[in-house]
């Protein structure tokens, strides 16, 4: 219980620090959204129009930074993340609500697939070390070191352009109305295959390598020898003894990567013009859209935190040594 309370406090402090940084960092950037709008219209705006823009964005009041900070917290507790400058006057929350499911759906599923597949393959390769299985290692090293966007481009070239079997632009057929019928869902799945494939290809190799190495380490542990000496079936030794222990460090890595699901997909969404939250963040930065940026950053931070809490819980379930006697 004491342990749990300590963890809860730790997460609360981290959350506070994240929100605070999230408030200050965009305000340290030079320029403001009205300036960037002006540049877009190449100065062809009257002073009145400029002034009304400032009023509209709420930038006319000369309140202190401290006051703004307090207001920010107040808004957060009301679930209000402000209004986007760039898609004025859409609330930031509804923009996030529109884009976040796409990212979580695609990248989340791809990350889980990549982790499960990579860990299983890695466990097998580690168990069969010293055989033909070792020949696959250079291949995985290659895939883990190739830049992500490059794999994306190759995949687009092969499947989208040369063979033309799968769509590679957007997240569903633009001719369709988003409605949960089979036409729409199948289109979403079709559009998701190539980006998901890219994510799996580029991230799976890392899981394979780390799991394989852990398997090799764990396989020489005494308890694995004991399991062999007991005459347990090979499968049981591999899964119940070797892999069961080798997977523990993988879990922390998996939690981290789940945290990056929301934020780490900017490149993928850019390459595939996928309407996720990374793509939106890119646009928000370009438009100096503070509220939107802040909102997205907040979501990213919170998702990393939540992933960490999840990892903590899973780890406690999987490794009895991390449990304290209660």
Partner 1 sequence: MPESVLTGASDETILDIRDLHVDYGYDERPTHVLRGVDLTVRRGEVLGLAGESGCGKSTLAYAATRLLPPPGLITGGEVWITGADDEKRDWLRLTDTQLRHARWSDVAVVFQGAMNSLNPVHRIGRQLTDAIRAHRPHTSAAERHERGIELLELVGIDPDRIRAYPHELSGGMRQRVMIAMALALEPRLLIMDEPTTALDVVMQRQILEQIADLRARLGFSVVFITHDVSLLIEIADRIAIMYAGEIVESGPARSLYHHPRHPYTAGLLSSFPPLHGPRRDLGGIPGSPPDLAALPAGCPFAPRCAWADDHCRTDHPHATKLDDGARDVACWKPLTR
Name the site residues for partner 1 (rule: CB under 8 A): 130, 220-223, 225-234, 236, 240-241, 244-245, 248, 318-321, 325
Nearer to partner 1, 52 or 225 (CB): 225
Q: What is the smallest separation between the CB atom of 234 and partner 1, expressed in angstroms? A: 8
305 contacts: CB under 8 Å, gap ≥ 6: 11, 14, 15, 18, 259
Q: What is the smallest separation between the CB atom of 131 and partner 1, expressed in angstroms? A: 11
**Quick one: 284 exposed, middle or buried, by C-beta within 10 A (0-12, 13-18, 19+)?**
buried
Nearer to partner 1, 128 or 283 (CB): 128
- 83 bridge partner residues: 91
Q: What is the smallest separation between the CB atom of 248 and partner 1, expressed in angstroms? A: 8
Q: What angle do CA 7, 8, 11 make, to 5 degrees?
A: 85
Nearer to partner 1, 158 or 317 (CB): 317
- 91 bridge partner residues: 83
State whether the Cα torsion 201-207-213-216 is positive or negative: negative
Compute CA 165 distance to the chain's CA centroid, rounded to the nearest angstrom. 27
Cβ-based neighbour number of residue 326 at 10 Å: 7
Q: What is the smallest separation between the CB atom of 254 and partner 1, expressed in angstroms? A: 17
Nearer to partner 1, 166 or 224 (CB): 224
Nearer to partner 1, 9 or 313 (CB): 313
Q: What is the smallest separation between the CB atom of 17 and partner 1, expressed in angstroms? A: 34
């Amino acid at each position: 219980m004491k342990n749990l309370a300590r963890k809860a406090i730790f997460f609360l402090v981290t959350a506070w620090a994240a929100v605070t940084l999230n408030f200050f960092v965009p305000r340290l950037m030079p320029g403001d959204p009205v300036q960037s709008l002006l540049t877009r219209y190449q100065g062809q705006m009257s002073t009145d129009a400029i002034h009304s823009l400032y009023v509209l964005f709420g930038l006319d009041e000369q309140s202190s930074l401290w006051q703004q900070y307090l207001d920010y917290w107040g808004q957060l507790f009301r679930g209000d993340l402000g209004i986007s400058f760039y898609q004025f006057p859409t609330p930031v929350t509804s923009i996030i609500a529109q884009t976040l499911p796409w990212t979580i759906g695609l990248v989340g599923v791809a990350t889980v697939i990549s982790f499960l597949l990579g860990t299983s393959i890695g466990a097998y390769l580690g168990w069969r070390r010293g055989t033909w299985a070792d020949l696959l290692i250079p291949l995985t090293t290659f895939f883990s070191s190739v830049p992500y966007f490059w794999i994306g481009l190759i995949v687009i070239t092969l499947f989208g352009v040369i063979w033309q079997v799968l769509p590679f632009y957007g997240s569903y057929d633009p001719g369709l109305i988003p409605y949960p019928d089979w036409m729409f869902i199948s289109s979403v799945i079709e559009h998701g295959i190539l980006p998901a494939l890219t994510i799996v290809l580029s991230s799976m190799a890392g899981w394979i390598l780390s799991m394989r190495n852990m398997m090799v380490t764990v396989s020489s542990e005494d308890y694995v020898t004991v399991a062999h000496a007991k005459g347990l079936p090979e499968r049981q030794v591999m899964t119940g003894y070797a892999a069961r222990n080798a997977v523990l460090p993988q879990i922390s890595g998996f939690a981290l990567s789940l945290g990056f699901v929301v934020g780490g997909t900017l490149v993928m969404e850019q390459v595939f013009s996928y309407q996720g939250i990374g793509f939106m963040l890119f646009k928000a930065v370009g438009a100096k859209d503070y509220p939107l940026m802040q909102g997205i950053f907040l979501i990213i931070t919170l998702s990393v935190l939540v992933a960490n809490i999840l990892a903590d819980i899973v780890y406690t379930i999987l490794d009895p040594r991390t449990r304290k006697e209660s």
